[in-house]
Amino acid sequence: MRVYQFRHQRAGRSVAVVNVGDDEGALRNGGRGGARCGRVLRGRPRGPDPPPARRHEERPGGRPLRRRESEGIGVRVLVDGAWGFAGDRRLDEAGARDAASRASAFARAAPSRDGRQLTPIEAQQGRYQTQVERDPFDVPLSEKIDLCLRAEEGMRQPKIKVTQAMVRAQREEKVLVSSEGSSIEQALVECGGGIDAYAADGDQLQVRSYPSQHSGASGQGGWEYVESLGLDREAPRVGEQAVALLTADDCPPGRMTVVIDSEQMALQVHESVGHPTELDRVYGTEAAYAGTSFLKAGDLGSLRYGSDLMNITADSTTPGGLGTFGFDDEAVPARREAIVESGVLSGFLTSRETAAKLGAGHGGSMRAEGWSRMPLVRMTNLHLEPNEGTLEDLLTDVDDGLFLETNKSWSIDDKRLNFQFGTQIAWEIKKGKLGRMLRDATYTGSTPVFWGSMDAVGGQESWVLYGLTNCGKGQPGQSAHVSHGAAPARFRDVQVGVKS
C-alpha cells in the first residue's frame, strides 16, 4: 500500500512572497547585459529536488506514506541569442534578483549565439484553477488507507504473492511573470490510484493491474477521480486473472489481426506519436538523452503517418487531463490543435522558439517539471480521436486474431520508428468472439506501417482518458504528467510474438 501527498503549506511559519513588481524588477535589474526576454516561474514542483520540508512515514510491513513539499523561483532569460536559467529557493526579492543575475551570466557564457527568434504573443493576464468536488487534502488519511487495504484484501488469492494498492494527490501552485508583460497564476490539483496483483507458481510469475501497471492512472480533479476508479470493486477480478495467467497458454507467434484495448493504445500514442512529434527532438536537441525522431520538419503536411482513420489531437483544454492548463510555461494560452489528420502529419508539439524556426505553429507545449527546471517541449493531452462502434463491433469482423489488454512492457528505438510492446494479458479471437486467455503476448511494428494497418477505431462510448505521471525527458531528467485519450483499435497483419 502506498499513499502519496504532495502539497505546499505555509502553516506555522512566515514566508516572504515576491509580488509581480518584485519579479519584474528582478528581470530588469538581474538581467542587465542584453537580456531581451525573461520569465520568472514561482511554484511548487513535482521534481526530484530534496524539498525544504519532507515527512516520510513507514507503516508496518514497509508500506510507505509519503508527503513532500517544495517551493522556489526559476528564472529563464534570453541574452544575445542564448538561453540562461537559474533557480533559488528563497521566495523573496533577493532570491529573484540573484536567480535572474545568475541566469543572465549563464546565458552570456554560452558558446552558441544563433539569434533565436520567438513566435510573438500578446501579453497574457489570467488565473487558472482546477475545479474539484472534493479537495483530496481534506480527505482523512484514514479513509485513503482504508481504501488501499480493502483493495489489497480483494486481490488476495492462494497463489497471489504480492499485492499493491496506491493512491496519490498533488497540488501545484505557480505564478509566471515575463518581461513581455504576462502575469499568470495557476493552481493545479490532481489525484490518482492503482492496484497490482503478482501471482507466482514454480518458475512462473504473472501480474495483473488496474487501471494501468505504471502507478495506476491519474487525472486533474479532486478525490472524486480516485473514487470513480473503483479500486476495491475491480480488485477481485485483478487477483483472479493474475492467478489464471499462471496456467494460461503462451501466446502463439505469427502475423494476424489484433484488437488493442484503450489503455495499451494510450501508450502506443505516447511512444510512437507523442515523442516523435516533439519538434525539439526533430531538430536534434534531445539527441543526447531521449533521442531524435524519424520525422523531418519538411514532412509537415505531406507525410503519411497512418490510415485515414488516424486522427491525433493535442488538447491542453481537455477536462480532467494532466496536461490541462490555462497557459503553458511560456504564457501561451491553452488550445486544441491537430497533429495527424486523416493519417497525414499536420502539426508538431512546439515551443515559441521551434514554432518560429519551423514557420508554423504557435508554441503552447512548453512545461517544466517545477520551479528548478527549464521548460521543455512536452506532450500535454494527446488523443487518438474516436470513430464509431464498440469493442464488440471491432471483434465481430475478426475471424482469427488477438485482443491485447493492459501494457506490461515497451521498447522503441531512439527515432521512435521500430517498437515492441508486451501486454499483461491477451485473449484469442475466433469468429468475432473472445476465446481462451493467453499470456506473455508481444507485438512489433514500424510506426507508419503499423498505423497504416489500422482499419477500425472505437467510438466515443469506448473512449477512455488515461493520465501518466512518468514521462521522462531532458538533462537533468524531468518527469511530465500527461494524458492520452483512446478507444480500442484494430490493426491487420501485425507480427505477434517472435518470428520463428
The CA distance from 174 to 321, in Å, is 18
pLDDT of residue 126: 96
Q: Centre a 10 Å sphere on the Cβ of residue 216 and count the other Cβ atoms it contains.
A: 27
Task: Report pLDDT digits (tens) over 154-194.
Answer: 999 999 999 999 999 999 999 999 999 999 999 999 999 99
3-state SS, one letter per residue, for the chain:
CEEEEECCCCCCCCCCCCCHHHHHHHHHHHCCCCEEEEEEEEECCCCCCCCCEEEEEEECCCEEEEEEECCEEEEEEEECCEEEEEEECCCCHHHHHHHHHHHHHHHHHCCCCCCCCCCCCCCCEEEEECCCCCCCCCCCHHHHHHHHHHHHHHHCCCCEEEEEEEEEEEEEEEEEEECCCCEEEEEEEEEEEEEEEEEEECCEEEEEEECCCCCCEEEECCCHHHHHHCHHHHHHHHHHHHHHHCCCEECCCEEEEEEECHHHHHHHHHHHHHHHHEHHHHCCCCCCCCCCCCCCHHHCCCCECCCCCCCEEEECCCCCCCCCCCECCCCCECCEEEEEECCEECCCECCHHHHHHHCCCCCCCEECCCCCCCCEECCCEEEECCCCCCHHHHHHCCCEEEEEEEEEEEEECCCCCEEEEEEEEEEEEECCEEEEEEECEEEEEEHHHHHHCEEEECCHHHCEEEEEEEEEECCCCEEEEEEEEECCEEEEEEEECCCC
The pLDDT of residue 49 is above 50? no
pLDDT of residue 134: 97
The pLDDT of residue 25 is above 60? no
- Mean pLDDT, residues 295-322 taken together: 98
**Torsion sign (Cα): 463, 467, 472, 474:** positive
pLDDT of residue 22: 37
The pLDDT of residue 31 is above 80? no
Task: Report pLDDT digits (tens) over 367-382.
Answer: 999 999 999 999 999 9
The CA distance from 329 to 475, in Å, is 18
- Mean pLDDT, residues 128-156 taken together: 97
Say what percent of the chain tops pLDDT 70: 86
Outline which parts of the chain fall under CATH 3.30.390. Answer: 1-116
Task: Report pLDDT digits (tens) over 242-285.
Answer: 999 999 999 999 999 999 999 999 999 999 999 999 999 999 98
**Torsion sign (Cα): 119, 125, 131, 135:** positive
Give the contacts of 11 (CB within 8 A, at least 6 positions apart): none
pLDDT of residue 475: 86
Task: Report pLDDT digits (tens) over 465-479.
Answer: 999 999 999 988 999
CATH dotted code for 1-116: 3.30.390
Give the contacts of 325 (CB within 8 A, at least 6 positions apart): 128, 186, 188, 316, 334, 367, 380
Outline which parts of the chain fall under CATH 3.30.2290.10. Answer: 128-246
pLDDT of residue 110: 87
The pLDDT of residue 385 is above 50? yes
Q: How does residue 214 score in pLDDT terms, banded at 50, 70 and 90? A: confident
Task: Report pLDDT digits (tens) over 218-245.
Answer: 999 999 999 999 999 999 999 999 999 9
Q: How does residue 289 score in pLDDT terms, banded at 50, 70 and 90? A: confident
**pTM here?**
0.90
pLDDT of residue 57: 30
The pLDDT of residue 304 is above 90? yes
Q: Centre a 10 Å sphere on the Cβ of residue 91 and count the other Cβ atoms it contains.
A: 16
Kindly state the cell numbers that stand for 417: 520508428
pLDDT of residue 303: 98
CATH class of the region 128-246:
alpha beta
pLDDT of residue 56: 27
